Every structure is written in structure tokens, then in C-alpha cells.
């Protein structure tokens, strides 16, 4: 049975439809087919012992932030418990999803260690040819590396229409998951972003929590990042950089009827 969870809602609407299933004997080919069947970009498979796996149409991912939000919401709905022990790619960690009324859940978790580095000249030149952007890019790794690329404001962000084949070739060449293009946060930590990841079968992600966590770590800031507007499904991801260097990331989730 597939449950579709809308992860990282904005003001109770929108969010990223995410398929969540109980773990069962399935081939990887069958798992890759689930997102398309469910009308989602990602599928999440949850085992009784807390093991979680993530798939897109292209294959398995080592981590997925909004997929983790979706899994936490469904587990709280099923068990009535707010805290859950999950295991992803050999890493065990706690996450929580708190019911906040109206069928909504406030979910958050620590995605794990994040590393950052400046991009190589070839990386930044090629990505700017495809996406433009402003100074200050970095490569952030959480499971897989991705580029964080600042851009000059929400209007410029909304106008982006990248050549996805060229972007895929560039990200494949540099071993990147994709490119997360973001506006500089305002004084209250509000920003907007778009995540392009054609190499994993997701031309553009409605909500990308792990890349938002990477941005919080890079900037050392608490953030509320709006995504999904270009896809007609507004989403917001929250992320908080903590004093020990870790990040707490999450969003509001709802199970579909």
C-alpha cells in the first residue's frame, strides 16, 4: 500500500508529494517504478526496524530530506509516538514528528555531517554557463555533493529556465547530485531556492530539505526557504544551524486522504 505524504507544506498547502511504503521484497526496478505510479518524485521504503531507503526513477539515493520528513509523519500517524529511531545508509539517528492539529505534523531531524568546500574553477564556470548565479557558490556534501549557487533575488530565480540536458551533463561530469540555486536570506532568515537534479531523474525538486540543511551549515544561520513556486506547489523547508555544528532540518507534512 502506498501512502502519499505532502512534505514541507507552506501555510498548510502545497508541499512535495512523496510515496511512503512498508519495506517488502521488491527489486530495485520495481522500486524505481513507484514514484511514477504515485505521482511523486521520490519513494520511501520503511522497515519495521527503522531502516529507510529512498528511490527516484533513476535509482536509490543515500539520503532524502523531504522523504525523511514524510516517513516521520507517517510513523507518528501510525504509532502515536512523536520520536522515532531511523537508520539510513548505515547511520542511525532520532527524528520527530509532532501533531499540530488539522492533520498536520511538524517534523524535523538531524541529517548528519555536512562538509563544504569552494568549487573548482571548472565547476563554477560550467554551472554558471547553465544557470548564471552570483559569487559565493560552494560544494556541500551530505550523502552526495551538490552545488549551492546564490542568485540575485527572487525575480532572477523565478526566471531560470536551464537547459536540463546540459545541466545533467555538467553535474554528471563533476559527480554532483544537482544544483541548489538560492537567494540570499533576509534579516529574518527567509530565502527562496530551486533545486535542479536531472541526474537523479528529478528535473526540479518541489522541496529539498537536505540541500537547505547544507545551506544552513554553509551560512551558519537559521533559515526558512521557500521552494516549489515554479512547479505550482509552494513548499517551505526550515533549517537551524546549531552551536555544535549540526543542523536540524524539517517542515510541515500532511498525509493525503
Q: Residue 225 domain-assigned?
A: yes
Residue 215 lies in a domain: yes
Q: Work out the mean pLDDT of the chain and round it to a whole number.
A: 94
**Structure confidence at residue 72 (pLDDT):** 98
For residue 257, tell me if it sits in a domain: no
Domain with residue 66: its CATH number is 3.10.310.10
Is 246 domain-assigned? Answer: yes
pLDDT at 65: 92
Domain membership of residue 74 (yes or no) is yes
Same domain, 125 and 233: yes
Give residue 109's pLDDT. 96
3-state secondary structure the chain: CCEEEEECEECCECCEEEEEEECCCCCHHHHHHHHHHHCCCEEEEECCCCEEEEEECCEEECCCHHHHHHHHHHHHHHHCCCEEEEEECCEEEEEEEEEEECCEEEEEECCCCCEEECCCHHHHHHHHHHHCCCCCCEEEEECEEEEEEEECCHHHHHHCCCCHHHHHHHHHHHCCCCEEEEECCCCCCEEEEEEEEHHHCEEEECCCHHHHHHHHHHHCCCEEEEECHHHCCCEEEEEEECCCCCEEEEEEEEECC
Give the mean pLDDT of 66-77.
96
Each residue of 132-188: pLDDT tens digit?
A: 888 899 999 998 999 999 999 999 999 999 999 999 999 999 999 999 999 999 999
| Same-domain status, 84 and 162 | no
What is the per-residue pLDDT for 257? 64
Residue after which a domain boundary falls, among 108, 132, 163? 108
pLDDT at 256: 87
Domain with 143, as residue range(s), is 115-251
Query: How high is the pLDDT of residue 243?
Result: 81
Whether 94 and 130 share a structural domain: no
Which pLDDT tens digit goes with each residue over 182-197? 999 999 999 999 999 9
More confident residue, 1 or 15: 15
Residue 85 pLDDT more than 80? yes
Residues 123 and 90 in one domain: no
Q: How many domains does the chain have?
A: 2
Q: Are 88 and 128 part of one and the same domain?
A: no
pLDDT digits (tens, 9 = 90+) for 21-59: 999 999 999 999 999 999 999 999 999 999 999 999 999
Amino acid at each position: 500500500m502506498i501512502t502519499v505524504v505532502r512534505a514541507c507544506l507552506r501555510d498548510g498547502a502545497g508541499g512535495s508529494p512523496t510515496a511512503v511504503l512498508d519495506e517488502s521484497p521488491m527489486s530495485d526496478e520495481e522500486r524505481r517504478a513507484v514514484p511514477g505510479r504515485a505521482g511523486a518524485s521520490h519513494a520511501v521504503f520503511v522497515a519495521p526496524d527503522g531502516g529507510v531507503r529512498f528511490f527516484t526513477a533513476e535509482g536509490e539515493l543515500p539520503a532524502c530530506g523531504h522523504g525523511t520528513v514524510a516517513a516521520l509523519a507517517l510513523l507518528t500517524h501510525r504509532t502515536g509516538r512523536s520520536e522515532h529511531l531511523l537508520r539510513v545508509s548505515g547511520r542511525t539517528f532520532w527524528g520527530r514528528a509532532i501533531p499540530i492539529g488539522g492533520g498536520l505534523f511538524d517534523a524535523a531531524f538531524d541529517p548528519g555531517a555536512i562538509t563544504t568546500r569552494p568549487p573548482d574553477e571548472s565547476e563554477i564556470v560550467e554551472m554558471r554557463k547553465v544557470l548564471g548565479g552570483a559569487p559565493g557558490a560552494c560544494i556541500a556534501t551530505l550523502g552526495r555533493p551538490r552545488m549551492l549557487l546564490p542568485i540575485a533575488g527572487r525575480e532572477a530565480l523565478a526566471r531560470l529556465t536551464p537547459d536540463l540536458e546540459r545541466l545533467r551533463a555538467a553535474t554528471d561530469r563533476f559527480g554532483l547530485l544537482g544544483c541548489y540555486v538560492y537567494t540570499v536570506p533576509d534579516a529574518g532568515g527567509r530565502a527562496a531556492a530551486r533545486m535542479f537534479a536531472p541526474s537523479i531523474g528529478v528535473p526540479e525538486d518541489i522541496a529539498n530539505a537536505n540541500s537547505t540543511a547544507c545551506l544552513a551549515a554553509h551560512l551558519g544561520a537559521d533559515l526558512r526557504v521557500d521552494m516549489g513556486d515554479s512547479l505550482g506547489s509552494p513548499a517551505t523547508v526550515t533549517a537551524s544551524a546549531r552551536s555544535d555544528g549540526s543542523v536540524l532540518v524539517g517542515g510541515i507534512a500532511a498525509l493525503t486522504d
